[in-house]
Amino acid sequence: DAGVTQSPTHLIKTRGQQVTLRCSPKSGHDTVSWYQQALGQGPQFIFQYYEEEERQRGNFPDRFSGHQFPNYSSELNVNALLLGDSALYLCASSRRGWETQYFGPGTRLLVL
């Protein structure tokens, strides 16, 4: 049983560019959450998707957007990249109403 997978593992972009990160949830999970983890910090909640809709959002600007597909996989899009967007982006999946979020290995984004 595959766990949560994310792609790519690493990414380098320049300021002003746009990036798309991808996540496939654990088998049987229908909810995907995205987190940003800056160096030396704990993860910060970006948003959560369930039934292809954004259900909850953390304190992140509209430059951060997402999508969930019918097979429950998800994308995180970041527009107009800033240097401060450099971080590890973590995807977590869960079953709606269940308690445990399972995390993927993350995508490390570097913005130059």
Partner 1 sequence: AQSVTQPDIHITVSEGASLELRCNYSYGATPYLFWYVQSPGQGLQLLLKYFSGDTLVQGIKGFEAEFKRSQSSFNLRKPSVHWSDAAEYFCAVGVSGGGADGLTFGKGTHLIIQP
CB of 33 to partner 1, least distance (A): 6
Q: Which stretch binds partner 1 (CB under 8 A): 15-23, 45-53, 62-70, 72-80?
A: 45-53
Instruction: With CB under 8 A as the rule, give the number of residues binding partner 1.
Output: 31
The length of the chain, given as a count of residues? 112
Tokens found for residue 29: 């999970």
- Tell me: does residue 56 bind partner 1 (CB under 8 A): yes
Contact in structure between 79 and 10 (CB atoms under 8 Å): no
Three-state secondary structure call for residue 85:
helix
- Tell me: does residue 51 bind partner 1 (CB under 8 A): no
Lookup result for tokens 């948003």 = 47
CB of 16 to partner 1, least distance (A): 28
